[in-house]
Amino acid sequence: MIVEKTHIEGLLIITPTVYEDDRGYFFESYNKHSFKKETGLDIDFVQDNESKSSYGTLRGLHYQTGNFAQAKLVRALSGNVLDIAVDIRENSPTYGQYFSIELSDINRKQLFIPRGFAHGFVVLSEIAIFSYKCDNYYNKDSEGGIIYNDSTINIDWKIPESKFILSEKDKSNPKFGNHIKF
Instruction: Assess whether pLDDT exceeds 80 at residue 179.
Output: no
Q: Which candidate, 45, 53, 11, places its Cα nearest to that of 29?
A: 45
**Is residue 182 pLDDT above 70, yes or no?**
no
pLDDT at 178: 79
> Which pLDDT score is estimated for 177?
86
Amino acid at 98: Y
Residue 100 has pLDDT above 80, yes or no: yes
Largest CA distance in the chain: 53
pTM given for the model: 0.95
Task: Give me the active site residues, please.
Answer: 62, 132
**CB under 8 Å to 28, separation ≥6 — which residues?**
1, 16, 17, 34
Task: With residue 78 as reference, give the H or E element that holds it.
Answer: strand 72-78
pLDDT of residue 120: 98
Q: What pLDDT score does 56 carry?
A: 98
Q: Order the strands of the 2-5 sheet from edge to edge.
A: 2-5, 12-15, 110-113, 72-78, 127-134, 47-54
Mean pLDDT, residues 29-46 taken together: 96
Q: How far is the C-alpha of 65 from the C-alpha of 85, rounded, in Å?
A: 15
User: Average pLDDT of 19-45?
Assistant: 95
Work out the average pLDDT over 111-119: 97
pLDDT at 91: 93
How does the average pLDDT of the chain come out, rounded? 96
Q: Which H or E run contains 169?
A: helix 168-171
Interval 117-173: pLDDT, tens: 999 999 999 999 999 999 999 999 999 999 999 999 999 999 999 999 999 999 999
Q: How far is CA 49 from each of CA 107, 154, 155, rounded to the nearest angstrom?
A: 20, 27, 24
Query: What's the pLDDT at 181?
Result: 65
How many Å apart are CA 182 and CA 119, to the nearest integer? Answer: 13
Which domains are seen in the chain, by residue range?
46-171 (2.60.120.10)
